[in-house]
Every structure is written in C-alpha cells, then in structure tokens.
Amino acid sequence: MADVRGHVVELQDIDEDDLKVTPPQGSAAGLKAVGVAFERGLKQGGVSRTVRSMFRINQPQGVDCPGCAWPESITGDRKKIEFCENGAKALAEENTTRIATPEWWAEHPISVLRDKTEYWLGQSGRITHPMMIREGETHYRPISWSEAFTTIGEHIRATTPERCTFYTSGRTPNETAFMYQLFARSLGTNNLPDCSNMCHESSGTALNPTIGIGKGTVSLEDLEHSELVFVVGQNPGTNHPRMLGSLAECRRNGGTVVAVNPLPEAGLLRFKDPQTPQGLLADGERISDEFLQIKVGGDQALFQALGHLLLQKEAAAPGTVIDREFIESETAGFADYAAAREELDWAETETATGLQRSEIEHIGDLLAASKATIFCWALGITQQPHSVDTIKEIVNLLLVQGNFGKPGAGACPVRGHSNVQGDRTFGIWEKPTEDLLQRVDTEFGITSPREHGFDSTESMIEMARGEIDVFVSLGGNLALANSDTAHMEAGLQRTGLTVHISTKPNRSHVVHGKTSIILPTLGRTDRDDKHPGGAQFLSVENSMSVISSTQGRLEPVSDHLLAEPVIIARMAEAVLGPDHAVDWREMADDYDVIRDHCSRVIPGTEDFNRRVRQKYGFVLPNPPRDRRQFATEQGKGQFTVRPLEYLAPPEGHLVLQTMRSHDQYNTTFYGLDDRYRGISGGRRVILIHPEDLAASGFADRELVDVVSSFGGQELRAERFRLVSYPTARGCVAAYYPEANALVHRDLVARESNTPGFKAIMVRFERRADGMENLHEVSSLIEPVR
C-alpha cells in the first residue's frame, strides 16, 4: 500500500514466533520514551505533521490528547511538553499519512481481512471514503455520502427503536455525544451503551449511592499536595504516564505513595521524567514508597482490614484517627460499619490478599497518621464480580477519616479514554435520570423514552439472539473490546445493519452485519472548517471534571471525510425527516448552537460558550469536593457493609487478569514492544509466577492452550506462550483483547454489569507442538525492588 505522499508502505503482521523476552524494567519513561515518541510520529506522519501537532497537545486552545483522560494544571503555566510517550503514539496513529483507499478495500476481500490481526488492520491507515458491503458480497465498495445516509434511514425506519443500538467510544467529544444521545432519544430508545460499561461503570455504580456523584472528588493540585496517595489496580506508567509526574511531585512535597497491584509495574517503582534533572539520572525518582503485591481480587479484604485497624487505633487513642465530627454531621451508617469491622479474620485476610499481616498493619499505621488521603484506582478494581462492593470499601475508608471536601483528600477513579467521562456527563447512558430526560424534552420539544436501554454486555447478548436490527458505533471497536469474543462477533454478524463511524479499519468492520457501512470521520487533530461560519472547535472533560476546548489544525488526508456532528445530523435527518422538532443542520453548521443547548440541559455547563473559551476552560461543580455535600437518598455520605469476597480458583486453576501492553491503547496497537515488562514481538503470552509454572508441570516459554471455566462452561483460546514472570502467586496475566475470548459473557460485576476481565479462572492444556520454535530460555525473574 501507499500513503498520501506516494511512499510505499509494507505492512508486516504479528508473527508470534518472533517473541522475545528480557528482564522487566524497574523504571518508566526517560529519554528512551522521548525517542520512541518522536520515532513513531515521524514514521506515521512525517516531520511537518508531527511537529505541527505534537507541541499543541494539551495546550490552551490546542488539541486534547486522543489518549488518556489525565488532567493538566489549571492554576499555572503549563510545560511546553504536556504529553507522554503513549500520547504521542496515539497522535501518530491519527496523524498517519497511510490511507485505506477504495483501491485498498478492493484488493482485500473480507475473507482475507478476517485472518488479519488488529495490529495489521490498524496500520493500514486512515479510511478515505464511505464504504459499504451487502449480504453475499465479498468486498467493501465505495458509496456516496447520500447513499450511505439513505440506506441507514431505510433500515432504521423499517424496524422499531428498541431494536436499534447506538454505541459510543470514549474519544467522542462532548458536543458529538450530546447530539448522538439526542438522536437516539428522538428516535425512541435509550440503547446507548458505551465503553464506560466495560471499564469504570463499577466506579459510578458504587460512588453515586454513597457520595452522590459518579466521579472523582479531587483536583490535580490535591493529588500533588496529599499526605498519602494509594494507587490501586492501576498501571500509570503505560495507561496514564503523566500521572507519574504528579505522584513524583506529591513525594517531593512530603507525601507518601502506596502502590497496590499484582504486577510490579515499572511505573509503580521509579520514574525518569525527561523534563527534570532527576529524570536524566540512571535510576530516576522513586514513585511508590510502599508496594503491596496483592492477589487479583483481594482488594476488598485489604480495605476491610485497614478499616478494622483504623477503628482499633481510634479506640486506643480516641480523637486521633477518625473524624468524629464529620461522621456525625455528614454521614450515615457508621454504627453498622464499626460493628462489622470490630473483628477480623487475619488468616482469611492473608489468604485473600496474599499479603502478610505485618505488611497490612504497616500500611494501617500510615493511613491512621494521614490527615489527607487520596485513593486512586482503575480497572484492576472495577472488572471483578465484587467490584462495586470493593469500591464502596474505599469510600468507607475515606468517610471514616473525613477525606472529602478538604485539600489533598478524596476519591480518584482514574478514567481511561480522553472523554469517556464527558460522554456520560453529556447524556450517553443507557440508564438516564428522569431529570436529564425532562431537560432534554423541555429544550427540544420531544418525548424521550423512559425505559432503560441496553449496556454493552446486554447489547452483545441481544445481538446474538437476533434481537437487534441496527447497530451504530460512534468510534470504538466493540468486536474486540467486549468479552466473549466469539459470541460478540456472532452477534454482529446476525445484525441486519452495522454502521461504523471510524477513522481506521478495525476488527468490527470485518465481522460485520448483513449490510455494513463505514463512515470515515475527521480525527481530533484534523482541521474542521467546512462550515458556513468557518473552523469549529469541540470540547472534552478530563478525569477531574475540567471541560476544555480541543481544535485540530492538520489537513485531513481525504476530502471525503465528514466531522462527527455533521454525520450525526445527516443521519438524524435521513431517519427522522426534515420536519422533526430538532434543527439538526443548525447544530452541525455551528457548534456554538450545540453548546447553547447543552448549557440549558446539562447542569454545570451554564454559559458554556463563554467559559469554554477561557484559557483553561472551566471546572464542573462537585458537591462532595466543593461543599462536603452528598446528594444521596439521605443527603449524607453513606457507609456500607458487605461480606468479604475474593477470588478463589478451583483446583488446578489460576486467576487470569487481562492487561494492555505498553504499545497499546485499548484495542489499538501502536507496535509490538511491551518494553517495561520485557515482552516484544508477540502478544499471545501468559505471564506466570515461576513457582506456579513449576507446580503446573509446564516449561517457561512452552506453547499451551488456555481453558477458562465459568458456570460449568468452558471457553478456549489456543496457542499462548507461558512466560515466567514475577506476578503474584496464584495469578497470571495476558493481553487484552487476545484473552477476551476467555471471558464468559455472564462473568460480570454485580450491579454494574462490567465484564470480569480481572476474574478469569484458567487452566492450561499441553500441545503437541508446545516446544516448537522455542529459543534458548534462561531465568528472568528478579526480586521486586
């Protein structure tokens, strides 16, 4: 294939026999990260596009990084470089000059594309034209935008609203999300699943009834000036690298960082900040003062033990540990909580956590002494059957010491994709509140449906049952993002029409519905100026509730791309007709019109157009943080009591968690180098503790089939390499999405329905070819430092 510059690009796919393993690294970032960032940018987009876009990332009136949702400072001047290595990779993927033209699609039948990996598909470049394939056809073919929208309109009008589902990726900007939910509700459905269903849904489900808001309650400045920060079930060195700078700043200010994770990730150990003198040193700065290598799923047991210790210490020295005044005035349920934590089974706690009592008691001392504590967590907490209960235990610990509404304290669920939090704020949710629906109806003169819709897991199940006729995906790649891959793909293929608003080819395009349409859209870094009033900008919300503008400036790789708001508007017109109550074209022409509507519908966005044009945007209100107020049923912070639960694998099984590589963001693969863990060239690996490896009777680097067990059923994934690695005992790890095939569709978190990507019970089966292509192997395990 070729790119827009006429350069020939040879695409290489993954060869698992190229797997190379070296010892895991003990620090993250450094000059190596800088070199990789620029190398990837130049390789994908060339000098001009890379330089013109890279130094505008996360700058005022610049472009918001299309990677993670970590915030930037809003209290002072920002650094010239406000991006990380993986942010630069995300930018390079979007800035690429490689193109998937109609000729490219003509050269690649679906039968060939289905055998390609997601890495190969993504490296094929930006889609340049609307494409369609009908039942019985072998290739996608180019179509006009008019034909695309006409076909979509015909299919949606031929069915009923409840048989249509509208999925959203976290990279969708606020204005587009608002229009998208308005379209779905104007049609008559709340089938609005999104990627949050698969990641932090457990966080919102736990936080809303306990503190009255489904978001974090801290600012960046809080984190950097906290006395004690817990980083739990999270790998910031890969998933939120700029967080490392904030943790380092916290420690410089005298704070203590406690990392809790089954893997000794490089970013949890040391950080080489290339923008500071310390970052040029051989070892960099230490990030975590304490590292607890906990078993997967043992976090609730740890938090209950810490609660027990706090109450013991308070009983020994009344008035020194818990915030009695705050508890009595601002919370409910403390007496029941205190009674539940009065006794603790230490033997079971050690079994559940894999930690020694002395380790936990030491952390209890740190927590008891802290007057300002923050708990940060991510998917290592949210993707287990008891995730919601585990997060509620975090809330209990924060409430008992009054760690809301004061500097340096609070809850910090670290969101993933750059606008996943904003999408929910602006209406993307299958379970909307009555207040939101009333505001939408009043603003637009429509009647929104009240019945809750399908989340991502329910959508998969309904598609597989043949109950969905139309599936529209605004970004994303649900075929690989969701659990139970075979079931998910079968569901897509049973659907009458699948529509993908996309920038690049992905797996969902090739396991498509009976008819499938791909609508190529502008990326976040592309110039969006085909409007009567000229160039437009959009907005995003970061992980700490700051809304800011984002505006691309690069020349799009094709004249046939449309902006997402324009696509939504034209789709709505094709389905609902020109006489509908909503003026879709007005919003598509001028995004200020969208923001004016938002300012009257979305609480906290009043005077949106003026405030978003401020240098750093504006912060949404947050009652627990701002006023120590809790919008729960009782109007107070709610203590909860739940029985202890942890993951206990059946005989002969280990607990598998899925994870990203360092060269990956969700289902997008930037490359094949997970260098912090010492894995490169291949992705079908199982990281396993050497003692578990020996006990299982397999050899390091042996090729096995992996079998998961759930509810009396088994799922199988073939040809994975076992790699000896310093994981927690009894726990193994594999890359997402390759291991998604092992996650049964019914293995979900209670209440939130989030897939159990961190709770898979697996065993291994020997293969006849298990030792083939096996290079010399030596022990790579070193003690965790």
Alpha-carbon distance of 351 to 445, in angstroms, equals 58
Give me the pLDDT at residue 37, please: 76
Whose tokens are 């827009």? That residue is 4
Residue 583, pLDDT above cutoff 50: yes
Does 54 have pLDDT greater than 90?
A: no
Average pLDDT, integer, range 460-489: 97
pLDDT tens profile 218-251 = 999 999 999 999 999 999 988 888 899 999 999 9
Residues in the chain, how many? 785
**pLDDT tops 60 at residue 109:** yes
Q: Mean pLDDT throughout 348-369?
A: 98
User: Minimum mean pLDDT among 45-54, 686-695, 702-711, 747-756: which range?
Assistant: 45-54
Of 84 and 424, which is predicted with more confidence? 424
Predicted confidence band of residue 83 (pLDDT cuts 50, 70, 90)? confident
Residues 162-184, mean pLDDT to the nearest whole number: 97
Helix (H) or strand (E) holding 258: strand 256-260
d(CA 399, CA 207): 12
Higher pLDDT, 110 or 772: 110
pLDDT band at 441 (very low <50, low <70, confident <90, very high): very high
- Give the residue-averaged pLDDT of 733-761: 98
Burial readout 400-437 (b: 16 or more C-beta within 10 A, e: otherwise) = bbbbbbeebbbbbbbbbbbbbbbbbbbbbbbebeeebb
Residue (of 644, 666, 746, 775) closest to 353 by Cα position: 644
Q: Amino acid identity of 323?
A: D
Cβ-proximal residues to 110 (8 Å cutoff; 6+ apart), any chain: 133, 138, 139, 140, 510, 512
β-strand partners of 710: 713
- Summary mean pLDDT of the chain: 94
| 367 pLDDT above the threshold of 90 | yes
User: Residue 45: CB partners within 8 Å, gap ≥ 6?
Assistant: 53, 92, 95, 96, 97
Least confident of 92-96, 200-204, 208-212, 511-515: 92-96
For range 631-650, the mean pLDDT: 97
782 has a pLDDT exceeding 50: no
Going by DSSP bridges, is the β-strand pair 760-766/703-710 parallel, antiparallel, or unpaired? antiparallel
Helices then strands, counting H and E runs in the chain, come out as 31, 32
Q: What is the structure's pLDDT at 784?
A: 41
Q: Identify the DSSP state of 204.
A: H
Q: Which of 208-217, 627-636, 682-691, 765-774 is predicted least confidently?
A: 765-774
In angstroms, rounded to a whole number, what is the distance separating the alpha carbons of residues 224 and 368? 20
> Is the pLDDT confidence value at 2 over 70?
no
The pLDDT score that the predictor gives to residue 519 is 98
Q: What pLDDT, on a 0 to 100 scale, did the predictor assign at position 38?
A: 76
- pLDDT tops 70 at residue 762: yes
- Which candidate, 87, 91, 120, places its Cα nearest to that of 104? 120
* Mean pLDDT, rounded, for 475-487: 96
Give yes or no for residue 272 having a pLDDT over 90.
Answer: no
3-state secondary structure of 549: strand
Looking at residue 587, its pLDDT comes to 98
pLDDT, residue 277, reads: 67
- Does 779 have pLDDT greater than 50? no
pLDDT given for residue 495 in this prediction: 98
Mean pLDDT throughout 315-341? 97
Q: Can you read off the two tokens belonging to residue 614? A: 């401020």
pLDDT attached to residue 52: 78
**pLDDT value for 780:** 47
775: pLDDT strictly greater than 80: no
Q: How far, in Å, CA of 152 to CA of 498, rounded?
A: 9
Q: What integer pLDDT is reported at residue 778 of this predicted model? A: 47
CA distances from 128 to 63, 497, 518, 562, 574 (A): 22, 21, 10, 10, 22
pLDDT of 674 above 50: yes
448's torsion region: left (phi>0), alpha (psi -120 to 50) or beta?
beta
Tell me how crowded residue 695 is: count the other CB atoms within 10 A of its CB. Answer: 13
pLDDT at residue 590 is higher than 90: yes
Mean pLDDT of 263-287: 81
CB atoms within 10 A of CB 108: 19
Q: What gap in Å lies between CA 546 and CA 422, rounded to an integer?
A: 9
Q: Which residues pair with 539 in a beta bridge?
A: 549
pLDDT of residue 69 exceeding 90: no
Determine the average pLDDT of the residues in 106-125. Answer: 96
602 pLDDT more than 60: yes
pLDDT at 479: 97
